[in-house]
Amino acid sequence: MKILNCPLNGPRNISEFVWGGEVKEHPALDCTDEQWVDYAVLENNTAGVVREWWYHVPTAYWIIAERNTVTDEIIRTYPARELFKDRVEFPAPAVKP
Amino acid sequence: MAVQPATLNRRSFVYRELAALGATFREVNGCAVAATLAAGRAAEIAAARDLGLADLSGLRRGGYKGWTALDWLRGQGVAIGENNMTLKQGDGSRVARLADSEAMILGDLAGGSALLDRVEAGWSITGALGAYPVPRPETNFWFAIAGRHSDTMLAKICGVDLRPHRFPDGAVAQTSVARMSAIIIRHDLGATLGYDMIADSAAASYMWTSLQDAMDEFGGRPVGLDAIVALAAETGPA
């Protein structure tokens, strides 16, 4: 079985993980609907090295993996907090009259 | 004193399976715990030296989760080790660090935990901001697997190398066991190799049956809590 190295738990069978999509930059809060759909739904499907979210199910732990989609080689894994250091605040939308 | 499980509000997730094995139940923490099964204490101690499975679901356990959880616990005098390691505490409780943001507390085999009593009494949502209790007695079963064949048996259903020379006493593996997410903790009983298994209570019957199936080829069998307590009290070679 393919092995993924979890930063918390060490090398584990890939069956313990769930793929969570590409790591993308969050659009501005006032973005258009098209930009939001692109962020939330559409994948770039890059041929080459990509950064992806992976979820270790037994520990409910999200990590980031750098993977070559051409060779399916996993280059590096690390905790999500290496990329996401700050809390993102979402201001409450103004109440419509 | 022997009790009938149905007379208590709390009972094991596998009490029907235990009753079918001829269990004699006694009350621990208001829960019916199988002290012995039909074979009896002496035969079960002997069996568990080779391979035994016991239900500890009635025993005390709990934990805290959240970004301040570990610091808050340290402030309560709890000793916390590295991720995926367990530290024994002064009162006999064990504290397993599951992540940078979570620790699980397991009480002793008598069913108590002075540490958990103290920590739970000291917790409040405002006093421990960002540290939340995890109600493991209701959501997780707790089984003990004991005996010299236990690592070989677990290798059939778990991909992590749990052999004693690779997985030291107190080590934690949060992984897939028999296709279910579970926490495995190496916990030797005296000189006898042993492991705790903690996982979703909704699948307790499934795991109880799966483990017996995996144990069959080694002559392993279910035992009562008394056999586990007796092995833990031993200090000499198994």
Distance CA B109, CA B200 (A): 21
Give me chain A's average pLDDT, please.
Answer: 92
What is the number of alpha carbons within 13 Å of residue B25 lying toward its C-beta?
A: 27
Each residue's pLDDT tens digit, A11-42: 999 999 999 999 998 898 889 999 999 999 99
Measure the CA–CA gap between A86 and A91, rounded to whole angstroms. 15
Domains contained in chain A, number: 1
For the segment B13-28, the average pLDDT, to the nearest whole number, is: 97
Question: Using one digit for the tens of pLDDT, what is the confidence trace for B83-120?
Answer: 999 999 999 999 999 999 999 999 999 999 999 999 99
Å between B63 CA and nearest CA of chain A: 14
Neighbour tally for A82: CB within 10 Å = 10
- Under 8 Å CB pairs connecting chains A and B tally to 30
| A68: β partners | A49, A73
What's the pLDDT band for A91 if we cut at 50, 70, 90?
A: confident
Q: Classify residue A19: in a domain, yes or no.
A: yes
Residue B193, token pair as written in the block: 């190799």
- Among candidates B83, B159, B182 on the partner chain, residue whose Cβ is nearest the Cβ of A8: B83
Range of the domain at A67: 3-82
Contact A13 B83 (CB under 8 A): no
Residue A64 lies in a domain: yes
Question: Cβ atoms within 10 A of the Cβ of B174, count?
Answer: 27
Contact B168, B162 (CB under 8 A): no
Which region among A24-33, B155-164, B202-211 has the lowest average model confidence (pLDDT)?
Answer: A24-33
Structural domain contains residue A87:
no
Considering the domain boundaries, does residue A41 fall inside one?
yes
pLDDT tens figures, B212-221: 999 999 999 9
**Nearest chain A Cα distance for residue B42, angstroms:** 37
Do residues B88 and B94 lie in contact, with contact meaning Cβ atoms separated by under 8 Å?
yes
What pLDDT is attached to residue B192? Answer: 98
pLDDT at A89: 80
Q: Calculate mean pLDDT across residues B174-178.
A: 97
Residue-level pLDDT at B188 = 97
Q: Where residue A70 sits, what CATH number does that domain have?
A: 3.30.2270.10
What's the rounded mean pLDDT across residues A61-66? 96
Q: Is residue A94 part of a domain?
A: no
* Local confidence band at B169 (pLDDT 50, 70, 90 cut-offs): very high
Cβ–Cβ under 8 Å, residues A59 and B98: yes
Flag whether residue B83 sits within 8 Å of chain A, measured between CB atoms: yes
Output the pLDDT for position B153.
Answer: 98
In angstroms, the CA B143 to CA B184 distance is 10
Distance of residue B28 Cα from the nearest chain A Cα, in angstroms? 29
In the prediction, which pLDDT does B236 show?
57
Residues of chain A found within 8 Å of residue B159, distances taken between Cβ atoms: 1, 12-13, 16
The pLDDT tens digits of the residues spanning B50-81 come to: 999 999 999 999 999 999 999 999 999 999 99
Mutate to test the interface with A, among B175, B179, B197 (most CBs of A within 10 A): B175
**CA A77, CA A70: separation in Å to the nearest integer?**
18
Give the residue-averaged pLDDT of B140-159.
98
∠ CA B116-B118-B121, nearest 5°, is: 105
pLDDT exceeds 70 at position B135: yes
Q: What is the pLDDT of residue B1?
A: 74
Residue B237 pLDDT > 70: no
Contacts of A13 in chain B (CB under 8 A): 159, 176
Does any domain span residue A91? no
pLDDT exceeds 90 at position B235: no
Query: CB within 8 A of A29, min separation 6: which ones?
Result: A90, A91
Reply yes or no on whether the pLDDT at B238 is more than 80: no
Distance in angstroms (rounded) separating the CA atoms of residues A42 and A21: 10
List, in order of start, the domains of chain B with CATH numbers.
2-59+138-233 (3.30.1360.120), 61-136 (3.30.70)
> Is there a contact between A40 and A32 (Cβ–Cβ < 8 Å)?
no
Residue A93 lies in a domain: no
Report the C-alpha gap between B117 and B153 in whole angstroms. 35
